[in-house]
A and B are shown apart, each in its own frame.
Chain A
Amino acid sequence: MRVIGPNKHRSEIELDPVQAYRRGQVLDRMLRSAIPAHTRGVYRGTADTFARMDEARMIEAARKINAR
């Protein structure tokens, strides 16, 4: 494989925690722009309950993106 263009920040492995944190913040902003926000408030539930809630939001986001 040959990577075309600047490849300085292409790796998914970043062993410097500060760099990983900074670069991760950029990824998080991209993710937030693509998925609906959580409804504000405080919830209690098991890990499985929260996993199902997250999955439902991701599916909703995927539907919206694919409907464009």
Chain B
Amino acid sequence: MSTDDLVLRLLERFRDEEVEYVLVGGQAVRLNGFLRATEDVDVLLKATRDNGERVKRAMSFLEASQEIDPAWFEPQSGDVENIRVADDLTVDLLFAANGETYESMQPFVRELLVLGVTVRVLNIDGLLRSKTDYREKDVLDKQVLRRIKERLDH
């Protein structure tokens, strides 16, 4: 399947190239029930050079992605540097989200089928861990996600 929807196209390409990723951020918040606008796609990635090669191949339909260097995907220490690809779609390639990594988030990954594309996305518990307590946007996300979780639990 191929789609004109750039977000789904990206996630479809990630699946085809076997990128080790999980969708986080606004798109994930939305798929878990809080309908809010977002201007980009945030993905949390396994930090390996191989995964970087796969990401670069998967994103080849976005011209700017050709500037990606897979060496940037090697594990880092200290302040982690993420990657932003700004093109027809803006994609933030993250190696940490509020201190959590691809590996630490595995218990919180769910798979959803969205318009024919399988999407690996954080569940509500994972999203609550990925959000800070100081960014206004994060605080609002957490409030609403907790409300949704309560509703689903009862």
Nearest CB in chain A to that of B38: its residue: A28
**Structural contact, B33 and A24, CB atoms closer than 8 A:** no
Cα A45 to Cα B39 in complex, Å, equals 18
B1 at the interface (CB under 8 A from A): no
**Per-residue A-contact encoding for B65-100, CB less than 8 Å = 1, 0 else:** 101100010000001111111110010101011000
Report the Cα distance A35→B67, complex, angstroms: 25
Chain A 13-68 interface residues, beta-carbon cutoff 8 Å to B? 13-15, 17-18, 20-21, 23-25, 27-28, 30-32, 35, 37-47, 50-51
Name B39's contact: one of A13, A18, A32, A44 (CB within 8 Å).
A32
Give chain B interface residues in 87-122, CB to chain A under 8 Å.
Answer: 87, 90, 92, 94, 96-97, 112, 114-115
Residues of B within 8 A of A46 (CB): 79-82
**B1 to chain A: closest CB distance in Å?**
15
When distances are taken between beta carbons in the complex, the residues of chain A under 8 Å from B81 are: 44-46
Which residues of chain B have C-beta atoms less than 8 A from A43's C-beta?
83-84, 86
Q: Does B36 contact A (CB under 8 A)?
A: yes
User: Which listed residue, A25, A28, A35, A40, touches B86 by the CB 8 Å rule?
Assistant: A40
Is B5 on the interface with A (CB-CB < 8 A)? yes
A21: B residues at CB distance < 8 A: 30-31, 114-115
For B85, the chain A residues whose CB sits under 8 A away are 42
Interface status of A11 (Cβ within 8 A of chain B): yes
Q: Can you list 9 pairs linking A and B with CB atoms under 8 Å apart? A: A13-B151, A17-B31, A20-B31, A28-B38, A41-B86, A42-B67, A42-B83, A44-B81, A44-B82
Given A24-B30, A28-B39, output 13 extra A-B contacts at Cβ < 8 Å: A12-B35, A13-B151, A18-B115, A20-B31, A31-B37, A37-B86, A38-B40, A38-B84, A43-B86, A44-B72, A45-B81, A45-B82, A47-B80
